[in-house]
Amino acid sequence: MKLLTAFFRLVRYPNLIYIALTQYLLQYCVVAPILHYNGVEPSLSVASFCLLSLSTVLIAAAGYIINDYFDINIDIINKPDKMVLDKVINRRWAMAWHTIFNLAGVSIGFIAAWKIGQIYLGFTQVLCSLLLWFYSTSFKRQALIGNVLISLLTALAVVVVGFYEKQIYESFEAIMSPEGRKLIQIIGIYAVFAFLISLVREIVKDLEDVIGDSKDGCRTIPIIWGVEPAKKICYGLLLGLQVLIVVVEIRVALIGWYIAIAYLLIFVQAPCFYIYSLLKKAHLPEHYHKVSSLVKLVMLSGILSMVFFKLFL
């Protein structure tokens, strides 16, 4: 039982649930309702969607494993009580699971792409797998590059569902159709949201881990530029999030989705203001950990807003 618990911690199972939930809500609360409203059937069957989501989750799990593998020296300093590798799970077994998950994820991704007749889309999963490897081995230790890369991959977990929809990939005419334009707009908004909120969290995590990162030779933003400049970047990203949400609120106000506006105000915008105030006062690792946890909750509340498309369309 201890080994199983450690394994789930190693693959960050709450984050994997986030990924699966995001893709499920996007497919069945946004993509399918919009297409059905316009008299079009989704390209992905239930089975194909499950394959795509499973592929994404497996590759993400492999990424978390390899990240911990190369972070052992950092984790010994930053979070010794939470370490799994070498304490419970052997490094060789971790690498074996990393390889198995990657191969399975890429293979399943190609099967999902083949089932809709666009097998080249399977290379998306190959790219993600390679980027996660290079992130763990190199990019993570470089200022901004690693943060941006992980944030882009987070956004890609949203966008990839759209990649498999023929209203986006089939032709220019399909893209310019009413349902095609609407899908691109909505998926694009959620992708930008995912990118911005993820980038905030990545920088906050760097602030939290600055002691261990500096001893391991990492060149993260707080180490290279300082704590206050890192915080200022987060403030700017939070401002960008607020602007994005206001734009969305104005758009949905025009179609009378006032409940959705109230939801965004209470569960997304207000917490962002609170995160700003907490971050401004934060100076200890536990303070930054609290901010990081709140950012994750805002990410979840933003994801759950997809339900309104199912309710109102």
**DSSP code per residue over 213-249:** HHHTT---HHHHT-HHHHHHHHHHHHHHHHHHHHHHH
Average predicted confidence (pLDDT) for the chain: 90
Number of domains composing the chain: 1
Which residue type, as a one-letter code, is found at position 133? W
d(CA 207, CA 201): 10
Tens of pLDDT, residue by residue over 74-93, are: 777 777 777 777 777 888 88
Phi-psi region of 218 (alpha: psi -120 to 50; beta: other; left: phi over 0): beta
Contacts of 259 (CB under 8 A, 6+ apart): 308
Give the side-chain half-sphere CA count within 13 A for 164: 35
Joined tokens for residue 155? 């956004």
Residue range(s) defining the domain that contains residue 81:
2-312
Q: Using CB atoms within 10 Å of the CB of residue 260, give its burial: 0 to 12 exposed, 13 to 18 middle, 19+ buried.
A: buried
Q: How many CB atoms are closer than 10 A to CB 145? A: 15
Tens of pLDDT, residue by residue over 57-67, are: 999 999 999 98
Tens-level pLDDT at each residue, the chain (313 residues): 777 888 888 899 999 999 999 999 999 999 999 888 878 888 899 999 999 999 999 999 999 999 888 877 777 777 777 777 777 788 888 899 999 999 999 999 999 999 988 899 999 999 999 999 999 888 888 878 989 999 999 999 999 998 888 777 666 566 677 777 888 899 999 999 999 999 999 999 999 988 877 877 788 899 999 999 999 999 999 999 999 999 999 999 999 999 999 999 999 999 999 999 999 999 998 999 999 999 999 999 999 999 999 888 6
